[in-house]
Amino acid sequence: MIADPIRAHFEAHAATWDEHAPPDLDARLRRLLLPFAEPLRAAHLILELGTGTGACISHLRHYAPSARLVSLDLAHAMLVRARRRNAAAHLAQADVQHLPFPSANERCGFDLVICHNSFPHFQNKPHALREVRRVLRSGGRLLILHHLSREQVNAVHQRIGPPVADDVLPTAAEMHQLFDRSGYVQCWVEDAPTHYIAHAVRP
Ligand SMILES: C[S@@+](CC[C@H](N)C(=O)[O-])C[C@H]1O[C@@H](n2cnc3c(N)ncnc32)[C@H](O)[C@@H]1O
């Protein structure tokens, strides 16, 4: 029995997860990442949070062919599927609230942290944001991405019910507050009818 209800939920749904993906998911992911092609190309070390079955990995590889990419997830069953899809990926089972990496310094740290469709599930968001900030190098960037609108994401979680019913994507104002309190700069949020992007930089 898994004590963490969020982890138990994703462990249980991993086997059928990809059956629920939209048929144009790949095109949506390419579009979502396109504005960040330059920072992706320039990054040496990228961390992906909540990779699930690894849907983003090949797209991150496309934009960042020479970076070292580490993709992590809380649920082991999700990572098993991510491995099948991406044989050479660097995968890790970990909770974003306890990242298994040293604090960044002048010599090491992530250039980019990407989080697609997983931020609403982080139960202690201020803590998760501080933990991400800890491993980002100075000038490193955090991207929270969704290929659906905020309303659509929140409605999907409501429809699924517990334990994800209340896993909401914050409004732009709430996200700004979260970023500010966690010590980020250059924060902006695009809360659009087709997608959601939240961007922040570690000073
Ligand atoms: C909705 S799925 C999205 C998966 C993938 N990024 C995608 O776009 O298909 C959310 C993922 O976040 C993971 N997750 C939830 N809470 C987490 C946490 N605290 N730390 C790491 N991963 C987490 C879940 O296990 C799940 O695989």
Amino acid present at 184 = Y
Alpha carbon of 172 to ligand 1 centroid (Å): 21
Pocket of ligand 1, candidates 13, 121, 156: which has the most ligand atoms within 8 Å of its Cβ, to mutate?
121
Q: Tell me the domain boundaries of the chain.
A: 5-14+25-201
Q: Compute the average pLDDT of residues 182-195.
A: 98
- Regarding the beta carbon of 131 and ligand 1, being less than 6 Å apart is answered no
Instruction: Name the band, by pLDDT with cuts 50, 70 and 90, for residue 124.
Output: very high
Angle between helices 125-135 and 172-181 (to 10 degrees): 50
* Residue located nearest, by CA, to atom 26 of ligand 1: 52
pTM as predicted: 0.97
Mean of pLDDT over the chain: 97
Q: What is the pLDDT of residues 156-188, one digit of tens each?
A: 999 999 999 999 999 999 999 999 999 999 999
Alpha carbon of 53 to ligand 1 centroid (Å): 9
Q: What is the pLDDT of residue 61?
A: 97
Cα torsion angle, 151, 118, 133, 89, sign: negative
Helix (H) or strand (E) holding 189: strand 185-191
CA distance 69 to 47: 6
- Regarding the beta carbon of 33 and ligand 1, being less than 6 Å apart is answered no
Q: What is the pLDDT of residue 99?
A: 98
5-14+25-201 — its CATH code?
3.40.50.150
- Regarding the beta carbon of 117 and ligand 1, being less than 6 Å apart is answered yes
Q: What is the pLDDT of residues 79-123, one digit of tens each?
A: 999 999 999 999 999 999 999 999 999 999 999 999 999 999 999
Q: Which atom of ligand 1 is nearest to the CA of 78?
A: 27
CA distances to 102, 121, 124 from 95, rounded to whole Å, are 15, 11, 11
Q: Compute the average pLDDT of residues 5-29.
A: 97
Residue 1 clears pLDDT 80, i.e. is over it? no
Q: What is the pLDDT of residue 4?
A: 94
Q: What is the pLDDT of residue 2?
A: 75
Cα Rg of the chain, angstroms: 16
- Regarding the beta carbon of 120 and ligand 1, being less than 6 Å apart is answered no
Residue 52 clears pLDDT 90, i.e. is over it? yes
